[in-house]
Amino acid sequence: MTTSGVPRQQRGRVRATPKGRRVDPAALADVGALLGDAPRRRDLLIEFLHKIQDRYGCLQARHLAALAAELKMAMAEVYEVATFYHHFDVVKEGEAMPPAITVRVCDSLSCELAGAQALLDTLRNTLGATVRVKAAPCVGRCDAAPVAVVGQHPIPHAAAASVTAVVNNGDVAHPASGAVTPAHIDYAAYRAAGGYALAAACAAGRKSAADVIAAMEHSGLRGLGGAGFPAGRKWRLVSAEPAPRLLAINIDEGEPGTFKDRYYLERDPHRFLEGALIAASVVGLEAVYIYLRDEYHGCRALLECELAALQADPPCALPPIHVRRGAGAYICGEESAMIESIEGKRGEPRLRPPYVAQVGLFGRPTLEHNMETLHWVREILEKGPDWFAGHGRHGRKGLRSFSVSGRVKRPGVHLAPAGITLRELIEQYCGGMLDGHELYGYLPGGASGGILPASKADVPLDFDTLNEYGCFIGSAAIIVLSNHDTAAAAARNVMKFFAEESCGQCTPCRVGTVKALDLMKARRWDAPLLQELSQAMMDASICGLGQAAPNPALTVLKYFPKEVD
């Protein structure tokens, strides 16, 4: 024995096998064939995980080890990313494979109001052990509640019979465009109607960047993903940053009650793409990354087809455009979590989220936009900024796309003036309340925007108008409650969603949402404790999820105290 503690006879000996998990040659061949000639880059990890999940129905440990070897990554890194996202089924050694068919039934608020729980119970009792039935968070089809998804096949207005028929036929793929979605404006039709002429003019310098940015600022267009930052100002700030600059387009749209981006993408996909190309020319962006929520399988197929047509016959020089697929994580709607996910990582918000104009995707200055924000760029520039600004009501400016669901006769996306009131929206756009239902309350901004009573139905709906009531409009997802509902039950539903969707990175959110849900299950709420807990979450959570999660509970205590006293 030497003084170093290593036996003399072992010095210089080379291990017969490397440390760590041994890679199965067959699994390595499987993964290599799936990846083909794709570059083995770290930022493509989530895309590669999707390829394996789609092909084999799960992520077996042997395939994860093979993928780690292909990417020259530690197995732990691959595993921690795979287990972060809801849509990846990780199977450890010795565990049973999941059933071939999975049925997901949305149990978020709009679907719960429409009978999702009864549908879940029925399907679990009738489909048998060979089909996995799971409750799922919002799938972005709240206007067609309740919704079930068989594999990748969405079933609007789902009933036990319709779901069972799809299961029995094995229809697990998303139907072709036009089967469950309307016919869309394709590339040829969009170009024939003058599409991309403006993008070409910007790329050729026939429209100056200064004039375009000034028009965007004058229009009053604000980010329509929820935060509401002025779009023109963001373009000016990012253009002042050093190159190379990038564009990240957020179509994750995971807020319960929100489905406007899907609505526009299914009908007019080139409208936002032209907005992206205009932004790329004006701001000087070298590449475009589109982050699309995984539940939108039909939208992804449509988008990839239309991008191929655009790239085959470009109206101007195109920057590289990359479509990145989410994997089921509400938190990735937060901009820094989305950036982490595009980079192939766990979708955890950055501890001190930078302003993405300065340090964003891949460490570069990044312009981040919601899809609908870019959807309006062409019309604003063609019709003039006053056209857009002049649509508002009650002293507000612009147009809003309201995703309306719940107890109304015509749920759906309703394009209406910013500043319209809920009462006007229901009466003039939604056909009124359902027969036998009276307005009781509403969520003005999806799950995180709080809950207001019917007495506040005349408050203008726009950015900043709801702040004094402890609410906000966010992405304009309106869920309407009637006298058949209670605000307390609605608040419990959304708090359950937050508890399940917390990324777990920070204690105030990870523990606070679970504790708040426990307190809200009681017949009488412990108001002082719930308020103290809510304040801690709002003050100390890293990102908007934990900061906004208490809003429904606090507004119930404020406006519906008789329900929880």
- Residue 482 pairs in a beta bridge with 439
Token look-up 């503690």 returns 5
Beta strand 153-155 with 148-150 is antiparallel
pLDDT tens, the chain, 565 aa long: 444 555 555 555 555 444 556 899 999 999 999 999 999 999 999 999 999 999 999 999 999 999 999 999 999 999 999 999 999 999 998 899 999 999 999 999 999 999 999 999 999 999 988 999 999 999 999 999 999 999 999 999 999 999 999 999 999 998 865 455 678 999 999 999 999 999 999 999 999 999 999 999 999 999 998 888 999 999 999 999 999 999 999 999 999 999 999 999 999 999 999 999 999 999 999 999 999 999 999 999 999 999 999 999 999 999 999 999 999 999 999 999 999 999 999 999 987 544 555 568 999 999 999 999 999 999 999 999 999 999 989 989 889 999 999 999 999 999 999 999 999 999 999 999 999 999 999 999 999 999 999 999 999 999 999 999 999 999 999 999 999 999 999 999 999 999 999 999 999 999 999 999 999 999 999 999 999 999 999 999 999 999 999 999 999 999 999 999 9
Of 248, 273, 275, 258, the closest CA to residue 335 belongs to 248
Contact by Cβ (8 Å): 172, 54:
no
Predicted local distance difference test score (pLDDT) of residue 108: 97
Report DSSP letters for 474-486, one per residue.
TTTEEEEEETTS-
Of 72, 167, 105, 366, the closest CA to residue 248 belongs to 366
Half-sphere exposure of 394 (CA within 13 A, CB side): 15
Instruction: Report the C-alpha gap between 281 and 361 in whole angstroms.
Output: 19
The number of residues in the chain equals: 565
Apex 481 CA angle, 476 and 482, nearest 5 = 150
End-to-end CA separation in angstroms for the chain: 75
Q: Give Cα 183 to chain centroid, integer Å.
A: 23
Dihedral (CA of 56, 59, 60, 61) sign: positive
Instruction: Report the C-alpha gap between 166 and 155 in whole angstroms.
Output: 9
User: Which amino acid is located at 214 in the chain?
Assistant: A
Dihedral (CA of 554, 555, 561, 565) sign: negative
Q: Is the pTM of this model over 0.85?
A: yes
Residue 51 contacts by C-beta under 8 Å, 6 or more apart in sequence?
A: 34, 35
441 C-beta neighbours (distance < 10 Å), count? 26
